[in-house]
């Protein structure tokens, strides 16, 4: 009887300790004071969307605000011309939550292999949508006016890999023979795409 009571107490103690120590890791430092004379972030200014894709991303990460160091967060403002897109891309180190400031966006992400299922939705002013870490995702303005959104990311340096740029604009080029076989298209189509990047 005494040994089972001892085992019960030991089990309870182990459970309490595991609950007590289960938390988010602490940052390496409390905070980092940024240069108060440095430039602002510019999130109040709409980005220039007169480019091939019709969007502009204004990033606010540890490179722009040193005070974000070790905090595990960053932001971006995304501006869209009418029918502009934020092309398919991925953030290898962060989940993203997008909040629509103005306009109407079609947003989506693709699940991983082998399913490769497209999850998409139309979102309006005030709506939010989450893009899981590492998954290819996109946004498209489906309205006739400008649109804007704020993206919050779970890393001070989330990284971004734009699919088309990475595949067709690598330096040096990926062999057109490899890409033609991978995409099941003519080699000339690949060469044409590579010339655009």
DSSP 62: T
Domains recognised in the chain with CATH numbers: 27-33+42-159 (2.60.120.10), 161-197 (no CATH)
Q: What is the pLDDT along the chain (197 residues), one digit of tens a residue?
A: 666 776 666 666 666 655 555 455 565 556 666 566 666 667 888 989 999 999 999 998 888 887 778 888 999 999 999 999 999 999 999 999 999 999 999 999 999 999 999 999 999 999 999 999 999 999 999 999 999 999 999 998 899 999 999 999 999 999 999 999 999 999 999 999 999 98
- Bridge partners, residue 98, by sequence: 129, 151
55 and 83 Cβ atoms separated by less than 8 Å: no
Length of the chain: 197
Q: List strands edge to edge, sheet with 96-102.
A: 55-60, 74-80, 147-153, 96-102, 128-131
- For 10, counting Cβ atoms within 10 Å of its Cβ (0-12 exposed, 13-18 middle, 19+ buried), the class is exposed
Dist. CA 98–CA 123, nearest whole Å? 10
């Amino acid at each position: 009887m005494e040994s089972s009571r001892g085992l019960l107490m030991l089990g309870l103690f182990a459970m309490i300790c595991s609950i007590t120590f289960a938390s988010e890791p602490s940052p390496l430092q409390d905070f980092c004071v940024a240069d108060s004379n440095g430039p602002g972030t510019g999130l109040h200014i709409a980005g220039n969307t007169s480019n091939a894709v019709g969007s502009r991303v204004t990033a606010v990460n540890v490179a722009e605000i040193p005070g974000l160091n070790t905090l595990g967060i960053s932001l971006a403002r995304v501006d869209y011309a009418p029918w502009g897109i934020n092309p398919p891309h991925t953030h290898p180190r962060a989940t993203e939550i997008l909040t629509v400031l103005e306009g109407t966006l079609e947003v989506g992400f693709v699940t991983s292999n082998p399913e490769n299922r497209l999850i998409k939705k139309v979102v309006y002013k005030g709506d939010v949508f989450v893009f899981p870490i590492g998954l290819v995702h996109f946004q498209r303005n489906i309205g006739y006016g400008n649109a804007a959104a704020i993206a919050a990311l779970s890393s001070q340096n989330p990284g971004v890999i734009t699919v088309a740029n990475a595949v067709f604009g690598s330096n040096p080029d990926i062999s057109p023979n490899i890409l033609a076989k991978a995409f099941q298209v003519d080699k000339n189509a690949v060469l044409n795409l590579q010339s655009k990047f």
